[in-house]
Structure 1
């Protein structure tokens, strides 16, 4: 078992989505974040995650988000939160359903172990329950990049949300991404193995 342990699944999302040539910089930034609590993305975006949860249970979702945005004084962060608010509300307009409890799990591979803890559990009016990972970064999340963490999530759904389906919500774009039907499990297994091995090799090399 590798010594690379327990980063969150979000690092895989960002790594799989980065442009060629940027992988080392991305992993270096991720490593610094894990060593500096103030720079961790769940601390930066935490108030918006909490506001999104409240909005999903609130008959006035826009107000719930506006309250979170209004509390942000730093101009750049305020701008990010405004974009997240707009994107979430675009998606929410087409969503009918409710929140459900969602758990956590661990994806265990030869090169790394990742914590899988989706921020939302949803029960849509139609279809299966969803375990939703929130993606809040500026670059648009490409479907081919999302396929890797979605496949990883799918393998631990018995721990996270039994009977559910994994999903990633690109909050800024208001776009929900679901597991790909275009690739076989064998192909997706290979894609995951390649991405994780590449990520882990860089993580170890820059230690």
Structure 2
């Protein structure tokens, strides 16, 4: 079979889910990626695009406020919660946006796309702080709290490709509603994370194939 290609955000949704939830997620994602008319990724799309514009703007709060103002009724509560989280996080960040390249994490028959700043869709943010430190940030926008185990898998994927994304940068997963940036701890066992990622990739492909049957 051809390689299965999904985004890093959808893969993060998958690895943080329950066994039954994983099957439902793959079915939904399969419809979304195979149906060119699907609107499955549109719910948070405007907010994700707004984040990219905001970190490169002289008035980030106004950029996000405009996105919330244009949101649909079913989006409004979620967007307002994300707006609040963005305000709390950004007030402590003191950084400016920088370009990030795109790449893919590939294991077996699964390719996970990590979209940089020049690609449409939900992607990562590049930040540069006043002291010169840089970060590549994956925003997590969903309502359930993001667990450390799932975040670590996404962080490891970013870390493995940092030379392509933004050399020298630190990977961050940002649980935006809670204004909570997550980073790999110094004592993290990378070998264990790589083993878990390989297993999750194989499981995803198995579920994908089963959904086609």
Do the two structures share a fold, i.e. TM-score over 0.5? yes
Distance 1:119 1:186 in 2: 24
Question: 1:127 and 1:15, CA in 2 relative to 1: closer, same or farther beyond 3 A?
Answer: farther
Contact 2:108–2:201, Cα closer than 8 Å, also in 1: no
Give the aligned partner of residue 68 of structure 2.
69
Out of 197, 206, 210, the residue aligned to residue 201 of structure 1 is 206
2:171 alignment partner, SS class: strand
Give the aligned partner of residue 35 of structure 1.
34
Out of 131, 156, 177, the residue aligned to residue 136 of structure 2 is 131
Question: 1:154 and 1:205, CA in 2 relative to 1: closer, same or farther beyond 3 A?
Answer: same
Give the aligned partner of residue 104 of structure 2.
106
- CA distances 1:41-97 after superposition (whole Å, capped 9, x unpaired): 2x332321232233323443322211111112x311112111111111111121111
Give the aligned partner of residue 19 of structure 1.
18
Give the aligned partner of residue 83 of structure 1.
81
Distance 2:12 2:111 in 1: 14
Q: CA deviation at 1:105?
A: 0.5
Q: CA deviation at 1:120?
A: 0.8
Q: CA deviation at 1:203?
A: 1.0
- CA distances 1:102-151 after superposition (whole Å, capped 9, x unpaired): 01001111131111124310012346311111111111111111111211
Contact 1:16–1:146, Cα closer than 8 Å, also in 2: no
Q: CA deviation at 1:40?
A: 3.5
Distance 1:22 1:68 in 2: 30
Contact 1:15–1:26, Cα closer than 8 Å, also in 2: yes
What TM-score, normalized to structure 2? 0.87
Displaced runs of 4+ in structure 1, greater than 4 A?
Answer: none
Distance 1:66 1:23 in 2: 33
Give the aligned partner of residue 54 of structure 1.
53
What TM-score, normalized to structure 1? 0.89
Q: CA deviation at 1:187?
A: 0.8
Contact 1:3–1:112, Cα closer than 8 Å, also in 2: no
Q: Which runs of 5+ in 1 are unaligned?
A: none
Distance 1:94 1:79 in 2: 24
Give the aligned partner of residue 172 of structure 2.
167
